[in-house]
Amino acid sequence: MTVLPTLRRAGAATLAAMLLAGCTMIPHYKRPTPPLAQAWPAYATTGDAVAENPLAANLGWEEFFTDPRLKALIAIAIRQNRDLREAAADIRRAQGQFDIQHASLFPAISGGGEAMFQGPSDAAGLSFAPGLDTGSPPMFKYYQMGIGVSSYEIDLFGRIRSMSREAAEHALMQRENARAMLISIISQVATAYISWLGDQASLRLSDETMASQEATLEMVRARFAHGETDQMTVRQNETQVAQSGAFRDESRRHVRQDENLLTMLIGQPIPDNLPPAHPLGQQTIMQDLPPGLPAEVLEHRPDIMAAEHDLMAANADIGAAKAAFYPRITLTASDGISSLQPHKLFTSAATTWGVSPQLQVPLLNWGQNSGNLKASRAMRASKAAAYEKAVQSAFREVADALAARDTYRDETAQMDRYVSTSADAYNLAMMRYRAGTDSYLTSLVSQRTLLQAQQWQISIAVSRYQNLVTLYRALGGGWTAHTPVPKPPKGQQVAGKG
């Protein structure tokens, strides 16, 4: 048989054509350089040591967050959050699109066979036809088997390879988008959890304050019954108790709303068997950053990496638009066997083959190719601007978080002194009131000042630790190798870094 040698010749010709198609017209990629400073301002870094602190991007969320209850909630969110499920589905869809496009680089080989049986309307007219079964009635028979390639484009100028590269970059972009979504969900859970702890602390403060004020009210009423104070003092104290009751109800409302937000973020009701929580302020590793931290750490942020993959996809699309100006060569080939008699089907005489190359040369398309190239270049310019904006936005996020970190540290120290002096003032006012040397109005004002200072202290603590989570996210932290995210398409790496 000559079928196998013919297949070898066809395979060799196809391989040679694929080797010739190794070049593309994708422009050389050069990463844009946004107009940014080389480092963030050297804010004051007093307080925590900075020597042994790792970069945020190299610190996974399981190492950064130390509160066991928070870690349990984050783990549930990674498993159950619907936004993350949607992002994972987008990755699989993009990978499927890449597989479809990448497969166009190779010839699609199909095999098949057919048998034809035809009976003439006029048997006398086919009495001498080849392959005619002279039975009654006579019947024409034909048998065929083979394999073939249909309309395979030989990618001489890299059009298909450029489109394959574009699809690969889009798949990688979706993967980085999923990473960004993951980090965002982690930071949202941590931020909501810290708010939850802060509102719980406010609720405890309101309960303690109201219990103290109710005890004071009982004392004032007893003194009024013995004629030792006036009714105005009783009314003032009753007003304070009512105000504290409203503050307690507000704190309860905030706690319940925090729980509703956490329920949405983790994708299920909050379990009852969570580990015990750490006190407010002990949720994270209190790391600091050295002054003049280089801005290159932003390269680890997945949203910036996604913007760059989007830019590289637009760059690859220009290669496909350029290749459209050049001729296209398509190949249709077949190799098989055919016979009018089934017992001669697998003989050398039954071997058939055919090759049909086709050349298409663009002559006049009324500016369609030029328009596509112009649109592709404009898209690359747009994506470059979007990449630079993403870097600038990230730089500002980190700068804002760094500035807030230092001011929150100083503000916390000032607020601690404020609460301490307010507590002393309130205690002195109550001592003077009980001794009868001052009116209750002074105690009332001092107690309100103390309560406001304590509320402010909790609010600053919440904002300070939430800002640390924001800084961790802004620096690209939150990712860990143990977190499952689908892999990029086979054979593709994060390319085009220079």
Task: Identify the structural domains of the chain with CATH numbers, from first to last.
Answer: 31-105+155-326+381-474 (1.20.1600.10)
Residue 212 has pLDDT above 70, yes or no: yes
pLDDT above 70: percentage of residues in the chain: 81
Between CA 53 and CA 350 the distance in angstroms is 77
Q: What is the pLDDT of residue 261?
A: 94
Rounded CA separation 82/208 (Å): 40
Q: Which residue has the higher pLDDT, 495 or 122?
A: 122
133-169 pLDDT tens trace: 555 566 777 778 889 888 888 888 889 999 999 999 9
User: pTM higher than 0.85, yes or no?
Assistant: no
pLDDT of residue 264: 92
* 249 vs 299, residue with greater confidence: 249
The pLDDT of residue 279:
87
The whole-number pLDDT of residue 215 equals 85
Pairing of strands 139-154, 328-339: antiparallel
Res. 460: pLDDT tops 80: yes
Q: Where residue 211 falls among pLDDT bands split at 50, 70, 90?
A: confident
Closest CA to 152 of 200, 105, 218: 105
pLDDT at 458 over 90: yes
Asked if the model's pLDDT at residue 228 lies above 80, the reply is no
pLDDT at 47 over 60: no
Checking if the pLDDT of 401 tops 90, the result is no
The average pLDDT across 408-427 equals: 90
Torsion on CA atoms 272, 273, 275, 280, rounded to nearest 10: 10
The torsion angles phi and psi of 156, rounded to 5 degrees, stand at: -65, -35
CA 286, 287, 288, 294 dihedral sign is negative
- Count Cα neighbours of 63 within 13 Å in the Cβ-side half-sphere: 17
Q: What is the pLDDT of residue 169?
A: 94
3-state secondary structure the chain: CCHHHHHHHHHHHHHHHHHHCCCCCCCCCCCCCCCCCCECCCCCCCCCCCCCCCCHHHCCHHHHECCHHHHHHHHHHHHHCHHHHHHHHHHHHHHHHHHHHHHCCCCCEEEEEEEEEECCCCHHHHCCCCCEECCCCCEEEEEEEEEEEEEEEECCCCHHHHHHHHHHHHHHHHHHHHHHHHHHHHHHHHHHHHHHHHHHHHHHHHHHHHHHHHHHHHHHHHHHHCCCCCHHHHHHHHHHHHHHHHHHHHHHHHHHHHHHHHHHHHCCCCCCCCCCCCCCCCCECCCCCCCCCEHHHHHHCHHHHHHHHHHHHHHHHHHHHHHCCCCEEEEEEEEEEEECCHHHCCCHHHEEEEEEEEEECCCCCCCHHHHHHHHHHHHHHHHHHHHHHHHHHHHHHHHHHHHHHHHHHHHHHHHHHHHHHHHHHHHHHHHHHHHCCCCHHHHHHHHHHHHHHHHHHHHHHHHHHHHHHHHHHHCCCCCCCCCCCCCCCCCCCCCCCC
Residue 386 confidence class, pLDDT cut points 50, 70, 90? very high
The stretch 321-349 carries a mean pLDDT of: 84
Distance CA 203, CA 454 (A): 12
Return the minimum-mean-pLDDT range out of 99-103, 197-201, 492-496: 492-496
Q: What is the pLDDT of residue 53?
A: 47
Say yes or no to pLDDT of 92 above 80: yes
- 151-155, 225-229, 259-263: segment of lowest average pLDDT: 225-229
Q: At residue 314, does pLDDT exceed 90?
A: yes
Task: Indicate if the alpha-carbon torsion angle 274, 280, 285, 291 is positive or negative.
Answer: positive
Q: What separation in angstroms does the CA of 8 have from each of 3, 107, 110?
A: 9, 15, 16
253 band by pLDDT with thresholds 50, 70 and 90: very high
Q: Which residues contact 87 (CB under 8 A, 6 or more apart)?
A: 174, 177, 178, 181, 182
Tell me the pLDDT of the chain averaged across its residues. 81
Reply yes or no on whether the pLDDT at 204 is more than 80.
yes
Residue 105 binned pLDDT confidence (cut-offs 50, 70, 90)? confident
pLDDT(390) > 70: yes
Q: Predicted confidence band at 319 (pLDDT cuts at 50, 70, 90)?
A: very high
Residue 44 pLDDT exceeds 90: no
Per cent of the chain over pLDDT 90 is: 28
The predicted model gives 459-471 an average pLDDT of 90
pLDDT for 134: 56
Mean local confidence (pLDDT), 456-469? 91
What is the residue type of 38? Q
pLDDT tens across 15-30, in order?
Answer: 554 444 457 889 999 8
- Long-range contacts of residues 126-133, Cβ cutoff 8 Å, at least 24 apart: 130/340, 131/340, 131/341
Tell me what pLDDT residue 45 has: 47
Confidence of residue 288 (pLDDT cuts 50, 70, 90): low
Cβ atoms of 24 and 164 within 8 Å: the answer is no
Average pLDDT in the 191-208 region? 92
CA distance readout (Å), 264 to 75, 82, 261, 272, 308: 14, 9, 5, 16, 31
